[in-house]
């Protein structure tokens, strides 16, 4: 799933960037930067984290990565980063 999702995300982003740039140069629009196109691909991020955890053999490193994957978004949110 992760191996298929990363190229899907990259392809969607590439097409969206070209489309958005063409709209901006032709009409001056900047509204195509809305991330709604990427929401179906959002599951790739946690799946990639779980895949990474499964590949780590050392228990101490696995715990450190797990703490980072759980605490990272929480710290980011607590420090005032807006959700939307």
HSE of 10, CA atoms in CB hemisphere, 13 A: 6
- 84 pLDDT band, cuts 50/70/90, is low
What's the mean pLDDT in 6-19?
85
Q: 3-class DSSP state for residue 23?
A: helix
pTM, full prediction: 0.56
Higher pLDDT, 80 or 83: 80
Alpha carbons within 13 A on the beta-carbon side of 48: 12
- Residues 73-77, mean pLDDT to the nearest whole number: 82
> Tokens at residue 36, please?
């709604």
- Look at 2-6, 18-22, 35-39 and tell me which has the smallest mean pLDDT: 35-39
**Which pLDDT tens digit goes with each residue over 43-63?**
888 888 888 899 999 999 999
């Amino acid at each position: 799933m992760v191996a298929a999702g990363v190229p899907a995300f990259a392809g969607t982003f590439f097409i969206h960037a070209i489309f958005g740039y063409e709209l901006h140069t032709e009409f001056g629009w900047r509204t195509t930067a809305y991330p709604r196109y990427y929401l179906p691909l959002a599951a790739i991020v946690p799946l990639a984290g779980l895949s990474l955890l499964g590949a780590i053999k050392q228990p101490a490193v696995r715990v450190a990565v797990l703490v980072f994957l759980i605490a990272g978004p929480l710290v980011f949110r607590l420090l005032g980063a807006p959700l939307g």
